[in-house]
Amino acid sequence: MNNHRPRATFRTPRKGRDSTPSARPVALLGLSQTQQLAKQEFARARRYDYPLTIGVCRIDRIDQLTDLYGAESRSLLMEELARLFHARSRSTDIVGRLSEDRLLWVLPHTDLDGARLAAERFREAVETIELRSGRRSIHVGISIGLSCYVSRNTLFFDSVLIQAQEALVRAQDRGGNQIEWHPLPELLEATLRKEAEDREERDRVRAQRAAARAAGAHPEAPAPASQRRDGESGGGDAAARRRPEDTE
């Protein structure tokens, strides 16, 4: 019995030709380097208070595709995904391997709406991939989970990453070839509203302190004479508090 599988290739309408893994190697960041760069970018987002979106991407039914077309097809598809990401991402974005079958996508200075638009363009591009092996062929789909860092109350990168992975699971559970995100719109709105209220309160406190400094006051200035305890010095009121025998 011959269990040999024909070599897997893919076809994209844009290229109009077949490609193989050896024909066009693509540099893909490894797990440790990907997470290191992602955590550094997250730290900058917290420090300078700008939005950051994390995406986790996985090819739909990749395990079945591997069984059908062989282990080589997994590497081939991951390389093609990396190529598509690099072709459609900004130079500041980070794209790398999160696991054997997942990619991590980091979008600095990008809110959830912007990330959803970018993810949808990428999802549509992946749909053009046709994996072929012998006479068999199948169009590839991808699911993407997004999570947006919007609050300094989020202290750790791993929290955002977990949310993105949970969103990815929802996308695949709902049939795949779609995008899900966290936080949900109502939670995002509540978070942004709370952040705005906190900023207003901080601005109010800073304005009060600035006004006090401009007026010559000091937060630790002596209390008014009417509030001083007996025996405390108080300028012109000192004579009024002298004992009678002190003036004899």
Name, of 109-113, 148-152, 242-246, the range with top average pLDDT. Answer: 109-113
Are residues 149 and 208 both part of a single domain? no
Is residue 67 domain-resident? yes
Are residues 120 and 199 both part of a single domain? no
Are residues 128 and 199 both part of a single domain? no
Are residues 50 and 71 both part of a single domain? yes
Is residue 84 domain-resident? yes
State which residues form the domain around 199. Answer: 184-217
| 185 vs 28, higher pLDDT | 28
Give the pLDDT confidence score for residue 36 in this predicted structure.
92
> Residue 1: pLDDT band by 50, 70, 90 thresholds?
very low
Are residues 105 and 198 both part of a single domain? no
Is residue 132 domain-resident? yes
Give the pLDDT confidence score for residue 220 in this predicted structure.
53
The count of domains in the chain is 2
Which are the contacts of 46, defined by CB distance < 8 A and separation ≥ 6? 149, 152, 154, 155
> Residue 23: pLDDT band by 50, 70, 90 thresholds?
very low
* CA 131 vs CA 7, 58, 127, 135, 142: distances in Å: 11, 16, 11, 11, 13
Q: Residue range 230-236: average pLDDT? A: 50
> What digits encode the pLDDT tens for the residues 45-74?
999 989 999 999 999 988 887 787 777 778
Helix (H, G, I), strand (E, B) or coil at 46: helix
Are residues 167 and 201 both part of a single domain? no
Are residues 22 and 43 both part of a single domain? yes
Domain closes at, from 163, 183, 203: 183
CA gap 11, 128 in Å, rounded: 8
| 21 vs 70, higher pLDDT | 70
Are residues 179 and 194 both part of a single domain? no
**Amino acid found at 174:** R
Which are the contacts of 90, defined by CB distance < 8 A and separation ≥ 6? 107
CATH number of the domain at 110, please: 3.30.70.270
> What digits encode the pLDDT tens for the residues 123-158?
998 888 877 766 777 788 999 999 998 777 778 899
Is residue 102 domain-resident? yes
Q: How many CB atoms lie within 10 A of CB 232?
A: 13
| 84 vs 183, higher pLDDT | 84
Is residue 53 domain-resident? yes
The sheet carrying 142-149 orders its strands as: 94-97, 102-108, 52-59, 142-149, 179-182
Give the pLDDT confidence score for residue 9 in this predicted structure.
58
Beta strands in 170-233 (DSSP E): 179-182
Beta pairing, strands 142-149 & 179-182: parallel
Are residues 135 and 201 both part of a single domain? no
Are residues 26 and 133 both part of a single domain? yes
Are residues 75 and 22 both part of a single domain? yes
DSSP 4: P
Is residue 168 domain-resident? yes
Is residue 189 domain-resident? yes
Give the pLDDT confidence score for residue 10 in this predicted structure.
54
Is residue 224 domain-resident? no
Are residues 99 and 169 both part of a single domain? yes
Q: Against a cut of 0.85, is the pTM above it? A: no
